[in-house]
């Protein structure tokens, strides 16, 4: 059985250690995780698995941790995914640009309109060296269906990036 966990709260030194200790003590295993500092706050998304009784124990332990540490912790029992034949090719998208309020939305819209699922997305903004101009950096992993012609998609994507004033790369994910 798998459990999806979302955590939000004030960041502190020992937070990741405490969270992972609770999971370990409940005899669950972390399948995937993303944990990060967000300003003075902390955010995490995790997927854990374990026997049903360990998952129930973990749900109760996380509820207690949330109350004790004044954090918002939400859990969701994950639906079992049946292995399907996916005819997709994973591609990485790297974007660099001056910061604009709609960068992420426009990128998401570009891929969604073409039936391309965004598997993972991360972004940040920071001041440029010497000028302090706000810059935007993003990394996405998208699943391109094999029926889409990559050369045509890349041309459309580069045209889109030119219109949005984005510097971007679309390339296959290499392992």
Q: For 104-125, write each residue's pLDDT tens digit.
A: 899 999 999 999 999 999 988 8
The predicted model gives 19-34 an average pLDDT of 95
Q: Is there a contact between 22 and 46 (Cβ–Cβ < 8 Å)?
A: no
Whether residues 20 and 68 fall in one domain: yes
The Cα–Cα gap between 151 and 153 comes to 5
> What does the pLDDT read at residue 101?
73
Tokens 């935007």, residue located: 136
Q: Is there a contact between 91 and 56 (Cβ–Cβ < 8 Å)?
A: no
> What does the pLDDT read at residue 84?
60
Q: 34 pairs with which residues across the strands?
A: 45
Tokens 């290499």, residue located: 174
* Distance separating the N- and C-terminal Cα atoms of the chain: 28
Whether residues 70 and 23 fall in one domain: yes
Helix/strand/coil for 98? strand
Q: Is there a contact between 68 and 54 (Cβ–Cβ < 8 Å)?
A: no
Burial per residue of 9-30, b for 16 or more beta-carbon CB atoms within 10 angstroms, e otherwise:
beeeeebbeebeebbeebebee
Per-residue pLDDT at 30 exceeds 70:
yes
Domain termination site, one of 77, 97, 122: 77
> What does the pLDDT read at residue 80?
75
Residue 163 lies in a domain: yes
Domain that holds residue 123: 88-172
Domain termination site, one of 58, 77, 96: 77
pTM of the model: 0.75
Residue 83 lies in a domain: no
Q: Is there a contact between 39 and 27 (Cβ–Cβ < 8 Å)?
A: no
The Cα–Cα gap between 166 and 99 comes to 10
> What does the pLDDT read at residue 125?
86
> What does the pLDDT read at residue 134?
87
The Cα–Cα gap between 61 and 127 comes to 40
The predicted model gives 29-51 an average pLDDT of 94
The Cα–Cα gap between 62 and 9 comes to 13
Q: Which two tokens stand for residue 63?
A: 């509820």
Domain termination site, one of 51, 77, 103: 77
């Amino acid at each position: 059985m798998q459990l999806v966990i979302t955590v939000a709260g004030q960041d502190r030194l020992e937070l990741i250690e405490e969270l992972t200790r609770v999971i370990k003590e409940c005899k669950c295993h972390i399948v995937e995780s993303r944990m990060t500092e967000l300003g003075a706050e902390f955010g995490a998304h995790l997927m854990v698995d374990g026997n049903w009784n360990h998952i129930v124990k973990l749900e109760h332990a996380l509820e207690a941790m949330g109350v004790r540490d004044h954090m918002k912790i939400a859990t969701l029992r994950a639906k079992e995914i049946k292995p399907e034949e996916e005819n997709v090719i994973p591609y990485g998208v790297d974007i660099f640009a001056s910061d604009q309020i709609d960068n992420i939305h426009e990128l998401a819209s570009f891929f969604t309109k073409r039936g391309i699922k965004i598997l993972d997305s991360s972004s940040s903004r920071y001041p440029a060296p010497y000028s302090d101009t706000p810059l935007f950096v993003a990394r996405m992993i998208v699943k391109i269906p094999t029926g889409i012609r990559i050369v045509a998609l890349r041309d459309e994507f580069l045209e889109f990036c030119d219109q949005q004033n984005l510097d971007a790369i679309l390339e296959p994910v290499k392992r």
